[in-house]
Amino acid sequence: MHARKRIEIVVEAVRAEQVTDLLDRLGAPGWTMLPVTAGRGRQGLRRGGDPAGVFDNVLILCIASDAVTDRILAAREELLGARPAIVSVTACEVLRGEHF
């Protein structure tokens, strides 16, 4: 097993492409996007499903090396400019280190 960092970003669906573009630009090996059904935070309850998808959130999951993770976190202004609701980083292990 190989140590890596797991970055989870909850962001509005309309801005997801900004985040994935940033990840691609900073050398992230890949990312996975998952739909979010509902959530609650400082701004109250947020439930998707409106016709325009304005209240839809997605969760972008990215597993990357320490170096790539540091680059992503260093670009915090651009990252936060996309208005993500949550950015979290945790330590994880992966089976095929050469892929991350």
Partner 1 sequence: MRGRGGPARRCRNGAGYQGRDTCQDPRPGEAGQSRPASAQVARRSASRHCGTVPDLATLLPPPVLFFALGFFAGAVRSDLSVPDALARALSLYLMVAIGLKGGVALATPGAAEGLWGALAGGVLLSLLLPLPAFLALRAATRLDRATAAAVAGHYGSVSVVTFAAAAGILQARGVAYEGFMPAVLAAMETPAILTALLLARAGAPAGQRVPTRRLLREVLLNGSVVLLLGSFAIGWLGGANAKAQLSVFTEGLFPGALCLFLLEMGLVAIRQLRAAGRGLQPALIGFGVLMPLFGAAGGLTAGTLAGLSPGGLGLMTVLGASASYIAVPAAMRLALPEADAGTYVTLSVAVTFPFNVVLGIPAYLWIAGAV
Q: How far is the CB of 70 from partner 1 (least distance, A)?
A: 23
Binding region for partner 1 (CB under 8 A)? 12, 14-15, 17-18, 45, 47-55, 77, 81, 83
Contacts of 7 (CB under 8 A, 6+ apart): 61, 62, 63, 64, 69, 72, 87, 88, 89
Q: How many CA atoms within 13 Å lie on the side-chain side of 36?
A: 26
* Amino acid code (one letter) for 73: L
Say if CB 58 and CB 10 are below 8 A apart.
yes
**Cβ closest to partner 1, residue 29 vs residue 48:** 48
**Cβ closest to partner 1, residue 14 vs residue 61:** 14
**Cβ closest to partner 1, residue 3 vs residue 80:** 80
Q: How far is the CB of 24 from partner 1 (least distance, A)?
A: 15
Q: How far is the CB of 54 from partner 1 (least distance, A)?
A: 5
